[in-house]
């Protein structure tokens, strides 16, 4: 069994190992306690706060970046803005009304809905007139024709 060095476990913990070698190393960790100890010692070194040294102005740099990404405060909607929206909506409504859009809509709506009702009534008439019974009768006739066909005595026995 080949054991890995501390350097290799360090690379593994920093995720700089190729994926195939990484899989082999993971399998090895399951089998070898010595390498597991080496790996854990590397992870502890990596996680220890003594190694991390921050610069004096680290906090200032972070805060300046936070200020840069702070979203702007949403401005409140004023009465003037609301009034403008209402004026635009009323203007569009007046244009549609004077252009005859609503009149045309009221004339065409009954034609549209009556077409839907006629289609529905036609479907009800087809179903109510025994469509399924006629389909079954036709199917039974076809089956009987196949069974009573001349030269098919083997089916009539």
User: Looking at the predicted structure, is the pLDDT value of residue 29 above 70?
Assistant: yes
- Residue 68 sits at φ, ψ, to 5 deg, of -65, -35
Give a yes or no: residue 145 inside a domain. Answer: yes
What predicted TM-score, i.e. pTM, was given to this entire model? Answer: 0.30
Non-local (6+) Cβ contacts of 90 within 8 A are none
- Residue 78 sits at φ, ψ, to 5 deg, of -90, 170
The total number of structural domains in the chain stands at 2
Give a yes or no: residue 80 inside a domain. Answer: no
Task: Please report how many Cα atoms fall inside a 13 Å half-sphere around the Cα of residue 120, on the Cβ side.
Answer: 6
User: Can you give the residue range of the structural domain that contains 18?
Assistant: 1-50
Kindly report, residue by residue over 35-76, the tens digit of the pLDDT. 888 888 777 765 555 556 777 888 888 887 776 665 666 666
The C-alpha atoms of residue 86 and residue 140 are separated, in whole angstroms, by 69
Give a yes or no: residue 83 inside a domain. Answer: no
Give a yes or no: residue 128 inside a domain. Answer: yes
User: Looking at the predicted structure, is the pLDDT value of residue 150 above 80?
Assistant: no
Kindly report, residue by residue over 117-149, the tens digit of the pLDDT. 777 676 666 666 666 777 778 888 888 877 776
Give a yes or no: residue 120 inside a domain. Answer: yes
Return the structure tokens found at 13.
Answer: 């913990």
pLDDT of res. 73: 62
Give a yes or no: residue 33 inside a domain. Answer: yes
Task: Please report how many Cα atoms fall inside a 13 Å half-sphere around the Cα of residue 142, on the Cβ side.
Answer: 6
Give a yes or no: residue 42 inside a domain. Answer: yes
């Amino acid at each position: 069994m080949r054991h890995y060095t501390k350097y290799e476990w360090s690379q593994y913990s920093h995720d700089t190992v190729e994926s195939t070698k990484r899989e082999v190393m993971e399998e090895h960790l399951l089998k070898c306690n010595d390498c597991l100890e080496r790996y854990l010692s590397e992870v502890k070194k990596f996680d220890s706060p003594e190694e991390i040294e921050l610069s004096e102005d680290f906090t200032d740099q972070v805060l300046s970046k936070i200020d840069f990404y702070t979203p702007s405060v949403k401005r409140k909607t004023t009465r003037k803005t609301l009034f403008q929206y209402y004026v635009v909506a009323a203007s569009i409504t007046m244009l549609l009304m004077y252009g005859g859009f609503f009149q045309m809509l009221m004339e065409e709506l009954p034609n549209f809905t009556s077409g839907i009702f006629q289609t529905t009534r036609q479907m009800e008439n087809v179903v109510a007139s025994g469509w399924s019974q006629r389909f079954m009768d036709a199917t039974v006739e076809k089956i009987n024709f196949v069974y009573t066909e001349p030269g098919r005595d083997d089916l009539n026995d």
